[in-house]
């Protein structure tokens, strides 16, 4: 049995980051055996299948089903599960992406077994120690032999932390590869028509971070701000089940929110969400990946957080950091009028990051 390259994913954003690398590596070196492991950290059978199909990824070779739990529980379960797979299959390389608990767990399991780690999306830093993802990013980078950065600022962060420059590769943003590759198919679906809105005449909202949704007062204030915003522009809000349960707890059930004029729906597949991003008047989010996607799509993005680990989206993209105060949402119409519009394309966000990453992996293994 050959030694496979093991790709570990744990949450849906990992799919968009890994798919371009996985598919390019099959083309660059078809002799390599590729193994796809889904830890199941975030898992919905229907949604996961949709994402895999839409991104042209095969069904996972291994599904660990670790499920929800505290950060420690998720990390521990993924660590044990991934270690078993890596040990049994004697993997040649473990490829991880992003900053979820499964990312760190897989990197730690591989390093303990002396299996080299490749980290897609290395070097991101928010410098906000209250974010659990910040610890995952830092530790994974320091465990990795191959670090694939998406911007100059990420490379600079790694240099400041003393990581050997020979390990760092500025390849660009693999998530943007997925955006550019799937945009035509996404737009052909015209999902905005299902919400009774026209292109460019609606706002898209996505909120999920515990710092926001677990604070009852803050979440209640956000809901009221969105209701106010919907009086000026239709607002489409795909609500994560966890977010909805918190909204229920502060008196904003799905039915109650829907009666205010907000277009409430369940989480969307990759293509439908991408199309809505591309045709929104603006996007309001607390997500990291959405900041990047909107910058690539030249759509104004307003981030309801105090910090971002993706400063390039502010410096060269279309992102504005609102801060964590829900009251700032009401300032969006005014900020839109002053929005400078899209900048030039961010360097290396050109749809070829997956290929550059695959070539570096192939050279390393050779």
Q: Are 88 and 61 in contact (CB under 8 A)?
A: no
| Cβ-based neighbours of 49, under 8 Å, separated by 6 or more | none
Instruction: Based on the residue annotation, tell me whether 208 is a catalytic residue of this protein.
Output: yes
Buried b or exposed e, range 41-80, using 16+ CB within 10 angstroms: bbbeeebbebbbebbebeebbbebebeeeeeeebbebbbe
- Sequence-separated (6 or more) residues with CB below 8 Å from residue 95: 5, 6, 7, 8, 18, 21, 117, 118, 120, 361
Q: Which of 38, 169, 208, 339 is catalytic?
A: 208
Q: Is residue 310 packed enough to be buried (19+ CB in 10 Å), middle (13-18) or exposed (0-12)?
A: buried
Minimal CA–CA distance to 268: which of 240, 299, 228? Answer: 240
Q: Which has the closest alpha carbon to 251: 328, 268, 266, 259?
A: 259
Compute the C-alpha angle 144/147/153, nearest 5°.
130
Q: How far apart are CA 330 and CA 136, in angstroms?
A: 33
Locate 44 and state its tokens. Answer: 């919905």
Rounded CA-CA distance 320/359 in Å is 34
Beta-carbon contacts of 196 under 8 Å, excluding residues fewer than 6 positions away, are: 234, 263
Catalytic residues: 208
């Amino acid at each position: 049995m050959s030694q496979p390259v093991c790709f570990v994913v744990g949450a849906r954003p990992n799919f968009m980051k890994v798919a371009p690398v996985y598919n390019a590596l099959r083309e660059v070196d078809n002799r390599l055996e590729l193994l796809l492991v889904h830890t199941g950290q975030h898992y919905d059978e229907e949604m996961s299948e949709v994402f895999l199909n839409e991104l042209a990824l095969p069904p996972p070779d291994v599904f660990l089903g670790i499920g929800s739990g505290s950060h420690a529980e998720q990390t521990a379960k993924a660590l044990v599960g991934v270690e078993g797979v890596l040990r049994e299959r004697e993997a040649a390389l473990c490829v991880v992406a992003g900053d979820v608990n499964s990312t760190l767990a897989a990197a730690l399991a591989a390093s303990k077994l002396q299996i080299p780690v490749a980290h897609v999306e290395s070097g991101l830093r928010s410098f906000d120690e209250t974010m659990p993802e910040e610890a995952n990013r830092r530790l994974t980078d320091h465990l990795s032999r191959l670090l694939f950065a998406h911007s100059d600022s990420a490379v600079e962060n790694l240099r400041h932390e003393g990581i050997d420059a020979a390990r760092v590769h500025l390849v660009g943003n693999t998530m943007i590869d997925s955006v550019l590759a799937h945009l035509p198919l996404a737009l052909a679906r015209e999902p905005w028509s299902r919400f009774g809105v026209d292109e460019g005449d609606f706002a898209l909202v996505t909120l999920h971070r515990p710092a926001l949704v677990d604070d009852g007062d803050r979440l209640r204030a956000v809901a009221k701000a969105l209701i106010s915003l919907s009086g000026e522009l239709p607002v489409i809000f795909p609500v994560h089940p966890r977010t909805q349960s918190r909204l229920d707890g502060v008196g904003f059930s799905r039915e109650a929110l829907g009666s205010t004029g907000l277009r409430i729906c369940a989480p969307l597949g990759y293509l439908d969400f991408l199309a809505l991003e591309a045709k929104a008047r603006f996007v309001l989010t607390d997500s990291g990946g959405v900041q990047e996607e909107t910058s690539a799509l030249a759509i104004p993005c307003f981030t309801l957080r105090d910090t971002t680990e993706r400063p390039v989206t502010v410096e060269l993209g279309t992102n504005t950091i609102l801060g964590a105060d829900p009251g700032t949402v009401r300032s969006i119409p005014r900020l839109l009028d002053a929005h400078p519009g899209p900048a030039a394309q961010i360097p290396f966000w050109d749809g070829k990051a997956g290929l550059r990453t695959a070539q570096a992996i192939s050279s390393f293994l050779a």
